[in-house]
Amino acid sequence: MQIDVLSLFPEMFEGVFGSSILKKAQEKDAVSLKVTDFRAFSGNKHNQVDDYPYGGGAGMVLKPEPLFRAVESVRDDQKTPRIILMCPQGERYTQAKAEELAKEEHLIFLCGHYEGYDERIREFLVTDEISIGDFVLTGGELAAMTVIDSVVRLLPEVLGNKQSHIGDSFSTGLLEHPQYTRPVEFEGMMVPEVLRSGDHAKIDEWRKKESLYRTWSRRPDLLTDYVLTEKEQQWIKEFVTRKNLDS
């Protein structure tokens, strides 16, 4: 996969792209990561990439020319890129979107600053607008890093264990079940007996039930479109009973 980032602050990506899974992914040639300073495409002697908004108002707006030119400079004629605008007005980012983007050959991320973008960038340049949450950041860089990390880890051969991401929170529509490791006992706190039983069928059922409970208790909104099996419906009845007894 080829990933290009257009930013006014390319130095922000050095530590992230040069560390951990993203570094290993590049070493394995699973992904090519490149950051381009789109100020170089301003086309004026002052390298100005923003201007005052028509109609008045506070703040400055990113001009269309630098971003259109920068995108053209990183396009690969052999690939059709997804051009992603990081923006608080965009579609809220989900694991499903990460899995969708992980199937693409070329992603181009646009990271803005200032008050916003010239609307022609939205209308005629980008294919996707993504928001990582209902809050506003200084710029799109941190949001782009988040999306890129979540996409790259899904690429084949990137994670050491090919199954590592399958049980992640949100991958199944539910939050991930609790995890334990050695020691069995720590300051009186024990690893659940079922996980030490060696009975893989019981362990699998325990994990599914705990995953559902964690989702039901912490993120019930995720269950709105989740299709419950008969067993899962019974488990939820047990959860309700447990909650009523505890209250």
- The domain ranges of the chain are 2-152, 185-246
Q: Does the annotation place 116 within a ligand binding site?
A: no
Q: What's the pLDDT at 162?
A: 57
Query: How many Å apart are CA 204 and CA 201, to the nearest integer?
Result: 5
Q: Which of 99, 100, 115, 176 is catalytic?
A: 115
Cα separation values, 75 from 32, 98, 101, 106, 179, Å? 14, 21, 17, 9, 43
Q: Does the annotation place 139 within a ligand binding site?
A: no
Checking if the pLDDT of 232 tops 80, the result is yes
Q: Which of 88, 122, 207, 214 is catalytic?
A: 88
- Catalytic site includes residue 178: no
- Catalytic site includes residue 168: yes
- Catalytic site includes residue 88: yes
Q: Which of 10, 153, 210, 232 is catalytic?
A: 153
3-state SS assignment for residue 186: strand
2-152: CATH class: alpha beta
Q: Kindly give, in sequence order, each residue whose CB lies less than 8 Å from that of residue 43, ignoring residues fewer than 6 positions away.
A: 65, 66, 69
Query: How many Å apart are CA 203 and CA 192, to the nearest integer?
Result: 10
Residue type, 53: P
Q: What's the pLDDT at 90?
A: 95
Checking if the pLDDT of 33 tops 50, the result is yes
Q: Does the annotation place 134 within a ligand binding site?
A: yes
Q: Does the annotation place 194 within a ligand binding site?
A: no
Arithmetic mean of pLDDT, 65-94: 96
Of 57-71, 144-158, 168-182, minimum mean pLDDT range: 168-182
Tally of helices (H runs) and strands (E runs) in the chain: 8, 10
Of all residues in the chain, what percent are helix, strand and coil, respectively (each to 5)? Answer: 40, 15, 45
Residue type, 153: R
Query: How many Å apart are CA 143 and CA 130, to the nearest integer?
Result: 9
Arithmetic mean of pLDDT, 190-212: 96
- Pair 212, 238: CB distance under 8 Å: no
Q: What's the pLDDT at 163?
A: 47
Which pair of structure tokens corresponds to residue 125?
Answer: 């340049």
Q: Does the annotation place 17 within a ligand binding site?
A: no
How much of the chain, in percent, has pLDDT values that exceed 90?
86
Q: Which of 37, 168, 176, 205 is catalytic?
A: 168
Checking if the pLDDT of 2 tops 60, the result is yes
Arithmetic mean of pLDDT, 37-62: 93
Mean pLDDT value across the chain: 93
Checking if the pLDDT of 79 tops 50, the result is yes
* Beta strands 116-117 and 128-131, pairing class: unpaired
- In what helix (H) or strand (E) does residue 37 lie, and over which residues does it extend? strand 32-37
Pick the CATH number of 185-246 from 3.40.50.620, 1.10.1270.20, 3.40.50.2000, 3.30.300.30: 1.10.1270.20
- Catalytic site includes residue 69: no
Place of tokens 């995890």: 179
Q: What's the pLDDT at 150?
A: 98
Q: What's the pLDDT at 172?
A: 81
Per-residue model confidence as pLDDT tens digits over 148-175: 999 999 999 899 755 455 556 576 889 9
Q: Does the annotation place 57 within a ligand binding site?
A: no
Q: Does the annotation place 133 within a ligand binding site?
A: yes
pTM for the whole thing? Answer: 0.88
Arithmetic mean of pLDDT, 115-121: 91
Which pair of structure tokens corresponds to residue 160?
Answer: 């050491």
Q: What's the pLDDT at 116?
A: 87
